[in-house]
Structure 1
């Protein structure tokens, strides 16, 4: 996705919500962009999860490899 498309999608999403009497009102416009934005954010969340999981597994593997356990 291009930066311009992300900015446009963000602008459309920000105008799709409003607060009335303390309740979040989802405007009709969201249905137009909801599917595309939902898919994008789902893909973003999955890729962030995979990246963080890979990072921490590398850190854990390095910690196990460099730590010496002496029985004394």
Structure 2
């Protein structure tokens, strides 16, 4: 079996989303809504690498779940 970064247990590649479209597809929001939430800092787990928006699925999921339970993310 080939050992690629995606196969490694500590790899972020399976958890990482690249671009507003990928992020909005993951959470099911329109791209414009996703962009504004990311830019305003209200979408957990989202950050910029240069000019590109990126996100960690696990952080989005846990942050939104915490918010739904009434806890601060």
TM-score (norm: length of structure 1): 0.28
Q: Higher Cα Rg: structure 1 or 2? A: 1
**Which structure has the highest helix share of the two?**
1
Greater relative contact order (CA < 8 Å, ≥ 6 in sequence): 2
Which of the pair is proportionally richer in strand? 2
